[in-house]
Amino acid sequence: MDMKGVAISSYSDRVAAAVSGSLNGLLRFDRSMVTSLDGLEHDEAEQPIVVMLRAYLYLLGGVRPPVEVVDALRKIDAGTLSALEAAHLDAIRHLLHGAYGAAGDTLLDISRQFPTDELALAAGHQVDFLTGATETLLSRLSSSPLLTEGATETYPYLLAMLAFAYGENHEFAKAYEAGSRALSLAPQDNPWAVHACAHALFESRDHGAVSELLSATRGRWNSESCLLRTHLSWHHALNSMAESDHDALTGLTGDVTAVLATECSAMQFCDAVSLLWRLRLASIVGPDDFAAVADKALDIRGASNSAFVDLHVLLAIIGADRHELAMRLAQEIGADATDMAAHLTGTRRTAVGVAESFLYYCQSNPEQAVRRLISVLPAVVGMGGSMVQRDLALELLVTCTHGRGLDVTVPAGVGIDRRPLVTYLRS
């Protein structure tokens, strides 16, 4: 039997149903990707496909799996696996060691050998994001036969991923067209399509359309089961900044930061940190408002397996003006990088450079903040803007130079413009 591209003929019907539910949840960014696996008995939960899916769910969120999941992975006998499952195990092991580039390549190989495997596409999509591999993000999906309408019942969700990939490659018209089509095909449970459309509209400066889209679809993604609930609220908050809508911004900020009172995910933590920093640059919040994220930062760091998460951990601590801790942690992250895969080493060092710029800002040294930020801008853009919060870094650049007459020369070839959202809030 072949279910969602994963060969599970040797597993029971209960395991097959759990795997199917988990994969459906993964494609729809729904909590069922986790809960579908929770009802299995102990022996069922130790089946290789279940263990691998659990590992993916952590690793694709930028964090390492718990010890018990890692131990279960080590116990898997690759000799008993199908070729497809063995290939996924290789990809997972690469991710565990921080070798995101190798993991991405392995997932590409899987897609070539097993073109109906939706898990490889979905996992590769997130790996490309975490590595900032924007060109691969697009080519991985556009070359798949599954991205033919009618090829699979999950086409609308894969199309939403393609729409996001278009946007990350600055093809905003294509992104909006693909995202809109994906949303029309699956209007009730396709938050990634909403996300892709919102991205495209925002980058095109159509802030009114962003607000209309997110407000109209809010009932479909603003639920506990939607894993994009916080992130889409974050997008809505940024759009409210662009529209200078302080009332909406206040409510949406509450939505984004509310997760801090719970055991939030690393990505929810990152959304909260990113939003708080924009508010701080706009002089709306101060160090005390970062207390909740700073208090969670070390726990998040303990599980971090990506430079994206590391950066936000540092920004949380810096935002709370806990500078000595931030400097010590930055040194630890730099030291960790020397033992990691080459790609993660580079991204972690770039993340530290971005964080140091914010530290200089908090120390009332805008000139040094600008110099440090300029020094890492080519790397920031080279690895993909979203991965290291390019736009937030540019907000800092504009804030530090605003009204100070600093001579800022952006390195040639970085291909960026300046979109100072926070300046809308100062007007």
Q: Last residue of some domain: 201, 227, 253?
A: 227
Is residue 82 a part of any domain in this protein? yes
Are residues 271 and 384 located together in one domain of the fold? yes
Are residues 125 and 149 located together in one domain of the fold? no
Give the amino acid at 214.
L
Is residue 239 a part of any domain in this protein? no
Q: Last residue of some domain: 74, 109, 131?
A: 131
Are residues 307 and 294 located together in one domain of the fold? yes
pLDDT of residue 134: 87
pLDDT of residue 410: 59
The Cα 260–Cα 256 span in angstroms is 8
Is residue 245 a part of any domain in this protein? no
Are residues 344 and 423 located together in one domain of the fold? yes
Is residue 250 a part of any domain in this protein? no
Are residues 90 and 50 located together in one domain of the fold? yes
Residue-level pLDDT, tens digit, the chain, 427 residues: 344 445 555 689 999 999 999 999 999 999 999 999 998 999 999 999 999 999 999 999 989 999 999 999 999 998 999 999 999 999 999 999 888 889 999 999 999 999 999 999 999 999 998 887 889 999 999 999 999 998 899 999 999 999 999 998 989 999 999 999 999 999 999 999 999 999 999 988 899 999 999 999 999 999 999 999 999 999 999 999 989 899 999 999 999 999 999 889 999 999 999 999 999 998 999 999 999 999 999 999 999 888 888 999 999 999 999 999 999 999 888 776 544 445 455 677 888 889 999 999 999 998 899 889 888 877 776 655 454 467 788 788 878 876 566 565 656 555 555 555 665 665 5
Are residues 23 and 117 located together in one domain of the fold? yes
- pTM (2 d.p.): 0.90
pLDDT of residue 1: 33
Q: At what angle do helices 100-113 and 83-96 cross, to 10 degrees?
A: 170
pLDDT of residue 253: 96
Are residues 316 and 383 located together in one domain of the fold? yes
Write out the residue range of the structural domain in which residue 406 sits.
Answer: 261-427
Is residue 241 a part of any domain in this protein? no
Is residue 404 a part of any domain in this protein? yes
**Residue 91, number of CB atoms within 10 A of its CB:** 28
Is residue 235 a part of any domain in this protein? no
Are residues 304 and 371 located together in one domain of the fold? yes
Are residues 279 and 422 located together in one domain of the fold? yes
Distances from the Cα of 167 to the Cαs of 140, 177, 201, 217, 269, in angstroms? 14, 11, 10, 20, 24
Q: How many domains does the chain have?
A: 3
Q: Last residue of some domain: 227, 250, 278?
A: 227
Is residue 246 a part of any domain in this protein? no
Are residues 426 and 282 located together in one domain of the fold? yes
Q: Which of 94, 89, 88 is nearest to 107 (CA)?
A: 88
Are residues 113 and 199 located together in one domain of the fold? no
Are residues 38 and 142 located together in one domain of the fold? no
